[in-house]
Amino acid sequence: MKSKDHNDITGGSGTDGIRKFITEINEIDETLLSLINRRLLISERIGKSDDQNRHHDMDEITHHAAIERLARINQGLLTPDVIRHVFTEIYSACRDIQLPAVVSYLGPEATFTHMAAIKHFGHCPRLMPQPAIRDIFFETEKGNSRFGVVPVENSIEGAVNYTLDLFFESELKICAELYLPVSHLLMSNEGALNRIKVVYSHPQAFAQCREWLRHHLPHAALEHCNSTADAARLASNQPASAAVAGKEAAGLYKLGVLASGIEDIPNNVTRFLVIGNKENPETGNDKTTLLFVTGHVPGALYSALSPLAAAGVNMLKLESRPVKHQSWNYFFFVDLDGHMDDPHIKDTIRQMEKQCMYLKWLGSYPKGMKR
C-alpha cells in the first residue's frame, strides 16, 4: 500500500466520505501491524545470530538514541513525547524477544519508581518490585535482575541519600538517567477533607507537600510508609484515612481523589538512575559520575577538583555524604560533562585520582532529558 503524507489525504463529504476514511484507517492499521511484526522478526533473527554485533540491537542506549533521532526527523503531526512513548514500547518488545530482561524497581506497583521504569524500558521487560533500594542493588548485583531503577534526586528535596550511600559499597555502574515529573494527589475512600484523621505517605512525598498539608489538614496525623503506593494500599483499607501518592496508585487501589497537584512547588521532578553491570558507548551528549574521598586536611577538596578547572571540564553537580564509621570524614559525588572514553576526560580523572585517597568511576551515560 502506498503511504500518504497527512497533507495528501482527501475525501468526500457525508457518510460516504467518513466510510472511506475509516476504510483507509483500517488499511493503515493493518500495514502498521505487519511492519511492527516484521521488525520483531528481524530482531528475533539478530538475537539468534552468532555475530558479536547482535548486542548492538539489544542495547537500551542504542534504542534511546534511535528514538530521539526519530523525534528529531519527524515531519508529521505526532508530538515528540508521543513518538517516544510509541517507539519505546516497540523497542521494548524487540529487546524482550532477543534477550528477556528482569528490571527491579522500588515497589510496590504504581510507585513513581515503577512509572520511571516503564518510561525507560516500556512494558515488555519483567518488572520486579523490591521492598527497599538496597534490595534493588542486591538483586542486580546477583544477576537476578539485569537492571535496577532507583531514585537519586528530587528537584525540591534534593538527594536521596540512601541511594548515594549504596554506591560506596556496590560495583554496579550507572547505565542511564531519566527525569520524571512528579505530581501528588490526596486520595481516600472518604468524601471530604474534614473526615480525614490520618494521612499515609513516603517521607519524601510528605516533605514535598508540607505546606499544603499544614494548611488543609492541620489536625491529621502523618504516618510514614515505605512507598507512596504502600500508602495508597493502607488508605484503601483504613477508615478516616487518606494517602499522598500519584494518580496510578489512585487507580490501582480504587481511591477517590480529594485534591490534586498538592505539591508545594510546581515543576516537581525526580531524577532516577538505571543501574547495571554494563558500560555504555560514547554518544556525544554524555555525563560521567565519580565517587571520591579526600584526605582530612585543609584544601583537600580544592586540590581534588582543581584538575577539572585546569582542563576546562564542566562540573555539573557536587554532593557530599559522611563516611560511615569515620566521624567527620566525607565522600563526594561529582557529575562531569563528558564520557570516560574521551581521552581528555580520562586524563583529567587520572589527575584527580592523584589528589584523592580513593576514587571510583560510577559510569558514563547519556544525559537524560529534563522535560
pLDDT along the chain (371 residues), means of 10: 48 73 89 88 76 51 76 88 83 73 90 92 86 95 94 89 92 94 95 96 93 96 93 95 95 95 91 92 92 90 96 95 76 96 96 95 91 61
CB under 8 Å, gap of 24 or more: what pairs does 157-165 form? Answer: 157/204, 157/207, 157/208, 159/319, 160/133, 160/204, 161/321, 162/133, 162/134, 163/133, 163/273, 164/319, 164/321, 164/333, 165/321, 165/324
Residues of the chain with CATH 1.20.59: 6-97
Residues of the chain with CATH 3.30.70.260: 280-366
Return phi, psi of residue 288, to 5°: -120, 135
Look at the block and give the residue holding cell 524497581.
105
Q: Does domain 6-97 have CATH number 2.60.40?
A: no
Local structure of 171: helix, strand or coil: coil
Please report, for residues 164, 183, 281, 285, 311, the alpha-carbon distance to residue 314 in angstroms, rounded to integers and kept in the order given: 21, 31, 20, 13, 9
Residues of the chain with CATH 3.40.190.10: 101-182+269-274, 185-260
* Residue 30 CA neighbour count, 13 Å, CB half: 8
CB distance 121 to 173 below 8 Å: no
Quick one: which of 224, 264, 266, 261 has its CA closest to 243?
A: 224
Q: Is the dihedral of CA 225, 229, 235, 241 positive or negative?
A: positive
pTM of this prediction exceeds 0.85 = no
The Cα 286–Cα 195 span in angstroms is 50
The Cα 145–Cα 76 span in angstroms is 38
Which residue type sits at 97? I
Largest Cα span, the chain: 83
Q: Which residues contact 156 (CB under 8 A, 6 or more apart)?
A: 207, 208, 263, 264, 265, 268
Please report, for residues 42, 104, 159, 163, 226, the alpha-carbon distance to residue 132 in angstroms, rounded to integers and kept in the order given: 38, 10, 16, 10, 8
The Cα 287–Cα 363 span in angstroms is 8
User: CA 110: distance to chain centroid?
Assistant: 14
* Residue 9 CA neighbour count, 13 Å, CB half: 14
* pLDDT at site 250: 95
* pLDDT at site 322: 87
DSSP 367: P
Domain 185-260 top-level CATH class = alpha beta
Q: Which residues contact 19 (CB under 8 A, 6 or more apart)?
A: none
How many helices and strands, by DSSP H and E, does the chain display? 13, 15
Cα 244-160-258 angle, rounded to 5 deg:
10
Domain 280-366 top-level CATH class = alpha beta
The Cα 243–Cα 189 span in angstroms is 10
**101-182+269-274 fold:** D-Maltodextrin-Binding Protein; domain 2 (3.40.190)
* pLDDT at site 237: 94
